Amino acid sequence: MNIHKFVMPEVIFGNGAIEHAGESCLRLGATNVFIVSDPGVIEAGWLDVVIRSCKQANLQYTVFSDVTMNPKDVEVEKGCKAYIENECDAIIGIGGGSPLDVAKAVAILVTNGGKIHDYEGVNKIRKPLPPQVMIPTTAGSGSEVSQFSVIVDTLGQKKMTIISKSLIPDIAIIDPETLSTKNAHLTASTGLDVLTHGIEAYVSLAATPLTDVQAKNAISLVSEYLRPSVASKINKEAKTKMAMASLQAGLAFSNAILGAVHAMSHAVGGKYPVLHGDINSILLPHVMEYNLLANPKKFADIAAFLGVDIRGLSHMEAGRKAIECIKQLTMEIDAPQRLSDIGLEKDEIPHMSLVALDDACMITNPRDVTAEDIEEIFRRAW
């Protein structure tokens, strides 16, 4: 008998859920909260809502917003220092994947010490973390429910993947209304990240029936609602469905882990200041083509989740239809199509391939992969 583990935080979902931030921290025993955000979230006004909620709960708070796209080790170290200096005892992360990943990384260092580089890989955290409440404002990274934190090693110019059940937040607050302040490009990029999470989790070597149902739902929701979400900031149904897709994809990949798309994307994102979802959108069809041979049945399932009529098709034929469907979606929402479009230098590919091969996400890729295989995928995507 196989034994499956499935871990997740308490989830508060729905319009207005963000106003539960202060009360959620209070329930976790907090008195002085460290709030991690970024300039974009501040400008959109969502940080003000969280601060008001903390004041209503009579909580002290400190705001840390020195966070950039593809967050860096130096930002984590700066945040850790601010947390300790202000004698905080809990953490709120609010924003896209960057603030949430920094919040988690700060949580590691304030209780476990050392450098964030010490925790790259799987299960290297030894001491309990402070209470964590995560509030995503994109749909999205899934970091609010996952056991991942991804931080750039500035000297090594690569993304470090940190995986531990200790990183699963205590409470995740998902408010679809926060998605209404995102432009079309960011909505498309983050939505394709959700799709990649769902697909990689579904075909992962660590997939289980518990993760499959979450991945299936996420893929289906993205297929139906990403286009209208990109088209309109005020389409409440599309925003709510994409928020749910992000949540379910996050639960799926947190427990099933990911694959070659994310391993390769981390290699690129560690050096190039490009949206993570943009890199994924380029790599996903090419990695799917490579991985199709490993599990044609699951790729045929994905085609069905995407709305393709697969009756009369072999699993391989249906899997190819899924890849075509993904390519069509990325073009329709104006996602970048080539790595050369986002500035990747072709002579970087051999080095990027070695970095990707060493990424923890590669462990659960469904097909065996070598550095030469990765190089070939990169070249096809370039």
pLDDT of 327-376, one tens digit each?
Answer: 999 999 999 999 999 999 999 999 999 999 999 999 999 999 999 999 99
pLDDT of 313-322, one tens digit each?
Answer: 999 999 999 9
User: What's the pTM?
Assistant: 0.95
Averaged pLDDT, 237-260? 98
pLDDT of 184-199, one tens digit each?
Answer: 999 999 999 999 999 9
Largest Cα separation within the chain, whole Å, is 65
Q: How high is the pLDDT of residue 6? A: 95
- Cα–Cα distance between 299 and 288 in angstroms, integer? 8
Percent of the chain with pLDDT over 90: 96
pLDDT of 264-313, one tens digit each?
Answer: 999 999 989 999 999 999 999 999 999 999 999 999 999 999 999 999 99
Q: How high is the pLDDT of residue 3? A: 86
Q: Where along the chain do the CATH 3.40.50.1970 domains lie? A: 10-178
Closest to 224 in 3D by CA, of 197, 181, 195, 196: 195
Cross-strand bridge partners of residue 92: 35, 133
Report whether pLDDT(74) > 70.
yes
Superfamily for domain range 184-381: Dehydroquinate synthase-like - alpha domain (1.20.1090.10)
| C-alpha triplet 81, 360, 128: angle, nearest 5° | 40
Mean pLDDT of the chain: 96
- Cα–Cα distance between 203 and 290 in angstroms, integer? 12
CATH topology of domain 10-178: Rossmann fold (3.40.50)
Report whether pLDDT(1) > 90.
no
Q: Where along the chain do the CATH 1.20.1090.10 domains lie? A: 184-381
- Cα–Cα distance between 208 and 215 in angstroms, integer? 10
Report whether pLDDT(220) > 80.
yes
Q: How confident is the model at residue 10 (pLDDT cuts 50, 70, 90)?
A: very high
